[in-house]
């Protein structure tokens, strides 16, 4: 491979896109092919060891932006680089993608909006290659006639995501974890209803949530659910009032905790005290980083059997998790193809099984740890990602 890569999104360790960038940059740098950054990295968010390796990329970025500045709004072609373009739903690109083009232009996307109208298809076909992070996304593109699609599964970092001894911070309570930014797609409304019923049977149960995000307004769409007519309020501090929301729907005082914004260094310790993690997501364009992190920490995971989650579940006769197989089709075609609703009663049944059979929970969770730590690491992702981009 003679050309270098250029990335159009910021490196960070606070969200999925940033982690894709960080671990791709670490891999390329280790291969002697450091990438060109076309958006400013969030170096303060990186762990010190990663920041030390990648610091030179920030200096290079500043120098390149200074060189590009005189050209204003003109499109700049980088002939010795393949530019990787971060794309959102609808194959919408960010500002750096409008300024910079490469020898080849590769779209990178995890999408949940499945609308493929003429405008979307035109944008998608403008790329020499498209890289996705789930079989679900790949198959949707193949259905549309795309043949230039690569697949690279996202992962975890085993140095930070690993099983740890319990701290005992919650005493002998049965702790259920739920994480991911609160929104209709993630299904926290389903978690709430299932946990409410489970807690009524087991008053020692505790719901521990990591639902906050930098975009609290997104949570308003949870009101689309037939289970929750209203979304959580946003407090004066800009945080969702999730405990109050739970109380509004029948959770008694002391049965729910809001962890706030969880730092990456805290996550493994938090998960060490959890007996189950529930992810009844209606759709995942990738494979759900938080679910993989829970699996990698040895937490028994209840996972909806739809969309990107299907790449995590494992063999039908001995899965890595407790799959939610009762899936009701939510929409028919249109912009949400594949979105499905999980059964509240099936979640309750899985929680009952985890509560009563701790040995089976431990055995299956151990299989999940081996799978995640062995096959779904960021280093494995970066290698397969670069290879997919190089075809």
What is the pLDDT at residue 1?
A: 47
187/328 Cα distance (integer angstroms)? 13
What are 345-385's pLDDT values in tens digits?
999 999 999 999 999 999 999 999 999 999 999 999 999 99
Report the CATH number at residue 13: 3.40.50
> Is 162 inside a domain boundary?
no
Report the CATH number at residue 273: 3.40.50.2000
Q: Are 308 and 288 in contact (CB under 8 A)?
A: yes
| 187 closest CA partner among 137, 224, 160, 217 | 224
- Quick one: 65 and 19 in the same domain? yes
- Quick one: 106 and 195 in the same domain? no
What is the pLDDT at residue 264?
A: 85
- Quick one: 233 and 119 in the same domain? no
- 50: which residues sit within 8 A by CB, 6+ positions away? 13, 22, 26
372/120 Cα distance (integer angstroms)? 34
Cα angle 135, 188, 376 (rounded to 5 degrees) comes to: 35
> Is 169 inside a domain boundary?
no
Kindly tell me the burial class for residue 2, based on how many C-beta atoms sit within 10 Å of its own C-beta (0-12, 13-18, 19 or more): exposed
Mean pLDDT, residues 268-289 taken together: 98
Kindly tell me the burial class for residue 75, based on how many C-beta atoms sit within 10 Å of its own C-beta (0-12, 13-18, 19 or more): exposed
CB atoms within 10 A of CB 34: 18
> Is 274 inside a domain boundary?
yes
Q: Which DSSP letter does residue 200 get?
A: H
pTM of the model: 0.96
> Is 163 inside a domain boundary?
no
6/34 Cα distance (integer angstroms)? 9
- Quick one: 181 and 41 in the same domain? no
Q: Are 382 and 53 in contact (CB under 8 A)?
A: no
How many domains does one find in the chain? 2
What are 13-59's pLDDT values in tens digits?
988 999 999 999 999 999 999 999 999 999 999 999 999 999 999 99
Distance of CA 50 to the CA centre of its chain: 20
| 300 closest CA partner among 341, 352, 242 | 352
What are 57-100's pLDDT values in tens digits?
999 999 999 999 999 889 999 999 999 999 999 999 999 999 99
Average pLDDT of the chain, as a whole number: 96
Residue 304: pLDDT over 60: yes
- Quick one: 120 and 228 in the same domain? no
> Is 200 inside a domain boundary?
yes
> Is 40 inside a domain boundary?
yes
78/69 Cα distance (integer angstroms)? 15
| 130 closest CA partner among 92, 95, 84, 94 | 84
247/52 Cα distance (integer angstroms)? 45
> Is 164 inside a domain boundary?
no
- Quick one: 307 and 321 in the same domain? yes
122/230 Cα distance (integer angstroms)? 38
- Quick one: 349 and 314 in the same domain? yes
- Quick one: 260 and 274 in the same domain? yes
- Quick one: 187 and 149 in the same domain? no
389/129 Cα distance (integer angstroms)? 7
> Is 190 inside a domain boundary?
yes
Task: Render 53-101 in DSSP notation, one character per residue.
Answer: HHHHHHHHHHHHHHHHGGGTTS-EEEEEEEEEEEEEGGGEE-HHHHHEE
342/332 Cα distance (integer angstroms)? 16
- Quick one: 129 and 210 in the same domain? no
Residue 2: pLDDT over 70: no
Q: Are 5 and 84 in contact (CB under 8 A)?
A: yes
Structure tokens at 333: 């075609």
What's the residue count for the chain? Answer: 391
- Quick one: 106 and 210 in the same domain? no
The domain in which residue 227 lies consists of 174-375
Residue 298: pLDDT over 60: yes
What is the pLDDT at residue 230?
A: 95
What are 325-342's pLDDT values in tens digits?
999 999 877 899 999 999
- Quick one: 19 and 119 in the same domain? yes
| Measured torsion, CA atoms of residues 56, 58, 63, 68, in degrees rounded to the nearest 10 | 140
Confidence grade of residue 232 (pLDDT, cut at 50, 70, 90) = very high
What are 143-168's pLDDT values in tens digits?
999 999 999 999 999 999 999 999 99
């Amino acid at each position: 491979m003679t050309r270098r890569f250029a990335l159009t999104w910021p490196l960070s360790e606070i969200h999925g896109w940033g982690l894709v960038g960080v671990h791709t940059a670490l891999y390329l740098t280790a291969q002697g092919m450091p990438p060109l950054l076309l958006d400013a990295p969030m170096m303060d968010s990186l762990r010190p060891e990663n920041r030390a390796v990648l610091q030179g990329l920030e200096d290079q970025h500043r120098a390149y932006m200074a060189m590009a500045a005189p050209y204003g709004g003109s499109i700049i072609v980088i002939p010795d680089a393949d530019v990787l373009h971060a794309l959102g739903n609808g194959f919408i690109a960010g500002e750096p993608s409008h300024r910079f083009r490469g020898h080849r232009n590769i779209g990178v996307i995890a999408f949940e909006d499945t609308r493929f109208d003429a405008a979307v298809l035109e944008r998608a076909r403008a790329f020499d290659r498209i890289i996705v992070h789930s079989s679900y996304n790949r198959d949707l593109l193949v259905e549309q006639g795309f043949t230039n699609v690569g697949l690279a599964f996202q992962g975890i970092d085993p140095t930070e995501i690993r099983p740890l001894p319990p701290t005992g911070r919650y005493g002998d309570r049965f702790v259920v974890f739920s994480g991911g930014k609160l929104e209709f797609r993630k299904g926290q409304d389903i978690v709430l209803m299932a946990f409410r019923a489970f807690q009524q049977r087991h008053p020692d149960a505790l719901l521990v949530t990591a639902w906050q995000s930098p975009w609290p307004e997104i949570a308003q769409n949870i009101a689309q659910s037939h289970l929750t007519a209203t979304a959580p309020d946003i407090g004066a501090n800009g945080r969702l009032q999730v405990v109050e929301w739970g109380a509004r729907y029948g959770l008694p005082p002391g049965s729910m905790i809001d962890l706030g914004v969880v730092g990456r260094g805290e996550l493994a310790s938090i998960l060490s005290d959890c007996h189950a993690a529930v992810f009844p997501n209606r759709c995942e364009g990738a494979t759900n980083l938080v679910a993989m992190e829970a699996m990698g920490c040895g937490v028994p995971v209840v996972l909806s059997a739809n969309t990107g989650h299907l790449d995590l579940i494992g063999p039908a006769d001995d899965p890595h998790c407790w799959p939610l197989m009762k899936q009701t089709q939510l929409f028919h075609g249109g912009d949400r193809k594949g979105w499905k609703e999980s059964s509240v009663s099936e979640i309750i049944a899985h929680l009952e099984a985890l509560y009563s059979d701790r040995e089976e929970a431990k055995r299956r969770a151990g299989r999940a740890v081996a799978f995640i730590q062995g096959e779904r690491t960021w280093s494995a992702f970066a290698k397969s990602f670069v290879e997919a981009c190089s075809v």
